[in-house]
Amino acid sequence: MCEEVNAKIATDISSSVDNFLFDCDGVLWNANEVIPGSLETVKGLKALGKRIFYVTNNSTKTRAEYAQKCVKLGFPATEDDIVCTSYISALYLHNMNFKGKIYVVGNPSIGAELDRFGLRHTGIGPDPPDEDQPAFQPVPGLDLDPEIKCVLVGFDKYISYPKIMKAASYARQEGNIFLATNEDSHLPMDVPYVVPGTGSIVTSVKVAARKEPVVMGKPQTNMFKCLQEAHNLDPSRCMMVGDRCNTDISMATNCGMRSLLVLTGVSTLADVGAYKASGDPTHATYVPTYYASRLGQLGKLLGLSIP
């Protein structure tokens, strides 16, 4: 499939889609700059009676913080409209009635969401290596806490050798839960260097632990299941709008939704062509239903006032 949106397709989308799930970075904004046409399209869809959700793999903000950012940039949002991986990770453990302690390779927003559910955790913050310690030696005096029964890995600007060692050691223990917020390779930022994503941190832990994590974010289905249960959503009446084929579009495919790829972020049409030609069944899930140069293209076709 993968057709460019046109007037006929836009009309069909308007009549057959009730719920729009938007990725944020690379779709609605880049860093703190709104992508032209995105704000007007989201507002226009909401004015047409569509339900708007913001679905992001970013774990560096709580739901409340993400809602605040949306509102600051002009997007209509409440906390209930936000699904982020810091929240989903905490909800996942809460729903399984987890009672142990969690070792977190992550950031304060993950900790805040865990705190909301009364989940005990440790590990957030700097844990630098001892400069006098010989390379590849165990952390001096490291005693594994027997209360820790889960490892949760997200984005952590303080990632260090001691953290990888501790996380891998806990994850490796039999019966312990190993979670990752997401495995995104890099952040879609318009800068002349690579900004490594959470996937680079997750990989360092899972390779050492020789164990695969349960991934909370896209392309896995946990995020949509959370929305589906909370709002009684019919996937056939939902559309995922994203910029990354192997996360946004793949989750849509895995959940039975239609998808729209916008070319303002990570993935390109050349990527889509390669996925279609590869014959790999996993790559087949990366192929969107539709594509547009930017979100505002859909807005214009819907007759909205787009700059």
190: annotated binding-site residue? no
Q: Is 12 a catalytic residue?
A: no
Query: Average pLDDT for consecutive 10-residue bins of the chain (307 residues)?
Result: 94 97 95 94 96 96 96 96 96 96 98 98 93 68 89 97 95 97 84 91 98 96 92 97 97 98 95 96 97 97 84
% pLDDT > 70, the chain: 96
pTM confidence score: 0.90
Q: Is 145 a catalytic residue?
A: no
243: annotated binding-site residue? yes
The one catalytic residue among 23, 127, 156, 271? 23
- Spell out the SS3 assignment of the chain: CCEECCHHHHHHHHHHCCEEEECCECCCEECCEECCCHHHHHHHHHHCCCEEEEEECCCCCCHHHHHHHHHHCCCCCCHHHEEEHHHHHHHHHHHCCCCCEEEEECCHHHHHHHHHCCCEEECCCCCCCCCCCCCCCCCCCCCCCCCEEEEEECCCCCCCHHHHHHHHHHHHCCCCEEEECCCCCECCCCCCCCCECHHHHHHHHHHHHCCCCEECCCCCCHHHHHHHHHHCCCHHHEEEEECCHHHHHHHHHHHCCEEEEECCCCCCHHHHHHHHHHCCHHHHCCCCCEEECCHHHHHHHCCCCCC
25: annotated binding-site residue? yes
| pLDDT, tens digit (0-9, with 9 covering 90-100), for 125-155 | 999 887 777 666 666 667 899 999 999 999 9
The one catalytic residue among 12, 18, 25, 156? 25
